[in-house]
Structure 1
């Protein structure tokens, strides 16, 4: 009996060792896969060039609510130049408790008081002194809290899309598009690759002009979000994190970005509400010497609209 018990005990110990050895090996394999995929994504973003400094210095506001993070999203079209105007300016307000996102687009032609400079179009703030000056301008005009920033050059946006959604992103193209976007898009619901989605988001030659372009940018972000959160795309996260790190400059560290991505996935479907500033019936078009065609806004009306929109029901 004693020998039988000893044999059983030894058998259990062997099985336990085999089980933990297998777990250890799986952990190693998983770590190697993550690393290789991450480096593959980073290399895809930067090519043969050395990656730019991943962490961007940014004077963000402290979070007034631990559950809500406000991130300034800046899209630029540098075309090889060191200084460029911000073509896209969005504020993403993420409620981590409810997994809801409020996405605010600021029109680039808003006539803005830029701290330390005379008034220009809003997108000139980034050209003059980068993300900090753009943040200071928005803060001064709209009294909005901005905690973090992420800056992406359009030349890398399509790479991010192709890694995040290898099978494309489904959107509805309202009409044929081709002028000055580098691709030809036909009317109808279809799946677009990175280059096509960028063209869809940048097209502005229709009756809606820049307002239509901003609306499509919001549609593109929401459609991309749906693809990223699909279960079958989870395997792409290591490579996605690598291409994001090589493509996007942010004050958020690699760990912060991965934590946010996994937090969004864990929270389930991310609901996105959208707003464009200026709101309806709160602006006029004008020509200003030195700035050209601008959008002059009713500041108080837009401050109230933005403040109301950014309130989450908790």
Structure 2
């Protein structure tokens, strides 16, 4: 009799545990489905809001990407002004690297006036490679001069950058403007800590009418990217990611599949203890001279060997 009662109690406890397990399973499933529906809705809403204004139309360009020999992901990032309908100018050239093993992120800015060898053509500014032969010739030029393999590219319309900022951060991004800045952008900036909205932030990172010229612009671009990443990593920022991705999608041309993007982006946002973006610049200090050539204008004549060695050391 006693054994029978004990067996009954054990069966009841097991049934109770199973009921709790199934209840928990359904609750988690509903939460997951709700989040998926929310992400999809925000993504589509962002895309629809941006679709009419986009100029790149998701056109994919030739790019024979090569995997990094150490298993890291190297992405060529280009900022273009496509308001003329041709997206022929790029004054932002960067290499973003993500290490799947260490979860480390790095960002390299290559100054557009860097005077380099362009395969099949005479030496010129590095951004001339894009104007002459698009993303593929620029990839070849970076490989030729700096011996870096690039697997993917992402061409981003400047208007998409501004739209993404306004969608995700309607109150603006906090920036510490170091000095009065005016001329060349149509917007005047007064010194001090302030909130900048999409077009203002775009003008800020493109400004070059001061003593630092392109060097100052590169510093501002890297600082703003870090600020946006920090904002996104807050609890309030994470929920805005779907809308951000949807908004900027029509303004991007890339050879990356959406699944590839998510596989790179997700670990970065989930691994908050190691998400600082480490930055670098080409040319490095004391490795260039200011020169002028009739066919290219004012350029930065690089010590290629010194810059190649420094870049490979940074990215290894």
Q: Does 1:296 align with 2:301?
A: yes
Cα RMSD between the aligned structures?
2.7
Counterpart mapping for 1:252-271 below 5 A: 252-268=256-272, 269-271=274-276
**After alignment, is 247-256 or 6-15 more displaced?**
6-15
Deviations 1:243-302 (A, max 9, x none): 232222111111222222211012114122222111122111222122111111111111
User: Among 163, 174, 187, which residue is 1:183 paired with?
Assistant: 187
Tell me: CA distance 1:129–1:25, structure 2 relative to 1, closer, same or farther (3 Å).
Answer: same
**After alignment, is 268-277 or 21-30 more displaced?**
21-30
TM score, norm. by length of structure 1: 0.88
Q: Which residue of 1 aligns with 2:214?
A: 210
Counterpart mapping for 1:25-104 below 5 A: 25-47=30-52, 52-53=57-58, 57-66=62-71, 68-104=72-108
Q: Do 1:245 and 1:254's aligned partners in 2 also have CA atoms closer than 8 Å? A: no
Give the Cα separation in 1 of the matches to 2:209 and 2:103: 35
Give the Cα separation in 1 of the matches to 2:238 and 2:182: 33
Gap regions ≥5 residues in structure 2? 1-6
TM score, norm. by length of structure 2: 0.87
Q: Which residue of 2 aligns with 1:135?
A: 139
Q: Do 1:54 and 1:245's aligned partners in 2 also have CA atoms closer than 8 Å? A: no
Q: Which residue of 1 aligns with 2:289?
A: 284
Q: Do 1:151 and 1:249's aligned partners in 2 also have CA atoms closer than 8 Å? A: yes
Give the Cα separation in 1 of the matches to 2:258 and 2:249: 7
CA apart distance, 1:111: 1.6
Q: Tell me the matched-pair count.
A: 310
Deviations 1:183-215 (A, max 9, x none): 332211223222222111111011111111111
**After alignment, is 256-265 or 12-21 more displaced?**
12-21
Tell me: CA distance 1:6–1:102, structure 2 relative to 1, closer, same or farther (3 Å).
Answer: closer
CA apart distance, 1:63: 2.9
Q: Do 2:54 and 2:251's aligned partners in 1 also have CA atoms closer than 8 Å? A: no
Gap regions ≥5 residues in structure 1? none
